[in-house]
A and B are shown apart, each in its own frame.
Chain A
């Protein structure tokens, strides 16, 4: 079975500073990896996904992530944090089995705090 570990339940950065949210995965077969964002009292919104194409993936709102197989990592970055980036971020993994994709396995989430 696959799993995801997000390092740091809370990350605090200053507005304008680099955002780095860490995600490591475990999977016995090539994974598909995702970052979702959740704003308070809302559902999850897809930021970006890796599906075995380019290892550097660009998403919405200026976020990007790089798939590194050797490190089993899929860290999320943004060069300059904005106050509106404050939210909960989830890394997730799925694999193909039986001809289709399984449901997502999520990490515990990282709460991103932006300091003015």
Chain B
């Protein structure tokens, strides 16, 4: 199995630009999670989906952040407009079902907003 795939692995952009992060979960997994990791705040859950439906987006920091899951094999996390404080590593994780506790993490996208 290829594991969770994230792209790009690194992104450098300027403040005000739109940023789109992509995630392909493990085939057959029905739950998908987006996390953000920073030095100051550690690992934070942003949003998670079950069967492509957003279940809890209370961790999304601001309206500038949005996430979609148009199908079972693809999700996006978009930041528009981006700000320097959005600089972080963004992880996507998937699990077999909503009640399967083990989440498998992708390698992350390292975002730097200048």
| Chain A residues packing against B (C-beta within 8 Å) | 32, 34, 36, 42-46, 49, 51, 90, 92, 94, 96, 98-109
Knowing A34-B101, A46-B102, say if A100 contacts B45 (CB, 8 Å).
no
Knowing A90-B43, A107-B42, say if A43 contacts B98 (CB, 8 Å).
no
Tell me which residues from 81 to 114 in chain B have a Cβ below 8 Å from any Cβ of chain A.
91, 93, 95, 97-108
Question: Which of B45, B59, B102, B107 has a CB less than 8 Å from the CB of A43?
Answer: B107
Tell me which residues from 39 to 64 in chain B have a Cβ below 8 Å from any Cβ of chain A.
42-45, 48, 50, 55-56, 59
- The 10 A-B pairs at the shortest CB distance, nearest first, are namely A100-B98, A103-B45, A43-B105, A106-B43, A44-B105, A108-B42, A43-B107, A103-B48, A32-B101, A103-B33
Assembled-state Cα–Cα distance A83/B3 (Å):
26
Q: Is the CB of B105 within 8 A of A100?
A: no
Q: Is the CB of B99 within 8 A of A96?
A: yes
Q: Is the CB of B55 within 8 A of A94?
A: no
Given contacts A44-B93, A104-B43, 6 further A-B contacts (CB under 8 A): A43-B106, A49-B101, A90-B43, A100-B50, A100-B99, A104-B35
Q: Is the CB of B45 within 8 A of A109?
A: no
B91 to chain A, nearest CB (A): 6
Assembled-state Cα–Cα distance A34/B95 (Å):
14
Task: Tell me which residues across on chain A come within 8 A of B104, comparing CB atoms.
Answer: 46
Q: Is the CB of B91 within 8 A of A43?
A: yes
Assembled-state Cα–Cα distance A8/B48 (Å):
29
Assembled-state Cα–Cα distance A108/B100 (Å):
24
The residue of chain B having its C-beta at the shortest distance from the C-beta of A105 within the complex is: B45
Task: Tell me which residues across on chain B come within 8 A of A99, comparing CB atoms.
Answer: 98-99
Q: Is the CB of A101 within 8 A of B45?
A: no
Task: Tell me which residues across on chain B come within 8 A of A101, comparing CB atoms.
Answer: 95, 98-101
